[in-house]
Amino acid sequence: MTVYHHTVVDGAEREWPVDPAAAGRVAPWAARAPEVLAQDLAGMAQYFPHWFLTGSAGGKPARCARRACQGAPLVPTGGALRCARCGTAGEADGLLWLGHIPSLARPEPAFQRRRKALRRAGFSEVAAGEAVYLLVPLMLVYPGEWPNVQPVVRYARRWLDALDLPRSSGAHHLIQGGRACIFSWGQWTAMPVHAVLQERMTNHVASLLKVAAGQRPRQAFIGRIHHERWQPER
Ligand SMILES: [Zn+2]
């Protein structure tokens, strides 16, 4: 079954068929175990249909080198990692997912100032009836040893900045400039990427938004499994 991904590039909606063999060229694990990638593609299509798979370069999204493409992502399609705008093939050293997790805007008056800051910084929200959801920008980077090693999930740094949250803070379960700490040492067992987002990141996002609304981090993150065991980097 062919999976199609889409995103907006330079104001225009682009859609492409995902080529698993092209993904395997930059991620040996995906070439060795195509069924693992197929499972992730199917799970994401079902639960996070607006996310898309791109090449990575040094843990960041791989981008088209052509100036006219203004940093359009390189995506696995048509036998290579290709620019989502112009189709030119480019280089990558791994794979990652880009997308958003929708999370309810906090009702506290103190949070309204934060929402304004997010809007000023260009981050969108969507309304569903009375409810307003923030679209929290994330990326999930596959390790070279997937699925034996946990993925790296990062917040967009500008999003953290707009909410006046620290990029690295043990109390906020953030390390390495925006990476979410979502598993304690030795806790990882192989699971598909959509389950990482559902079972771990959704809670992490909700806790961070509580902090942005004025709660103390210790209280906002209470009950997180890894709370007592995690040793923040110093
Ligand atoms: Zn391009």
What does the pLDDT profile of the chain (234 residues) look like in tens digits? 899 999 999 899 999 999 999 999 999 999 999 999 999 999 999 999 999 999 999 999 999 999 999 999 999 999 999 999 999 999 999 999 999 999 999 999 999 999 999 999 999 999 999 899 999 999 999 999 999 999 999 999 999 999 999 999 999 999 999 999 999 888 999 999 999 999 999 999 999 999 999 999 999 998 665 544 444 544
Q: Three-state DSSP class for 179? A: strand
Angle, CA of 222, 227 and 229, to the nearest 5° = 160
Concatenating the DSSP letter of every residue in 55-79 gives: EEETTEE-B---GGGTTPBEEEETT
Query: How high is the pLDDT of residue 147?
Result: 97
Tell me, in angstroms, the distance from the centre of ligand 1 to residue 86's CA.
Answer: 4
Tell me, in angstroms, the distance from the centre of ligand 1 to residue 20's CA.
Answer: 20
pLDDT tens, position by position, 175-185? 999 999 999 88
Q: Three-state DSSP class for 152? A: strand
Tell me, in angstroms, the distance from the centre of ligand 1 to residue 44's CA.
Answer: 25
Cα 157 to Cα 113, 174, 180: the distances in Å are 19, 11, 12
Residue whose pair of structure tokens reads 């682009």 in the numeric block? 14
Tell me, in angstroms, the distance from the centre of ligand 1 to residue 10's CA.
Answer: 11
CB 151 within 8 A of CB 193: yes
Tell me, in angstroms, the distance from the centre of ligand 1 to residue 69's CA.
Answer: 5
pLDDT tens, position by position, 112-158? 999 999 999 999 999 999 899 999 999 999 999 999 999 999 999 99
Q: Where do the structural domains in the chain lie, given as residue ranges? A: 4-92, 98-220
CB 93 within 8 A of CB 58: yes
Tell me, in angstroms, the distance from the centre of ligand 1 to residue 125's CA.
Answer: 28
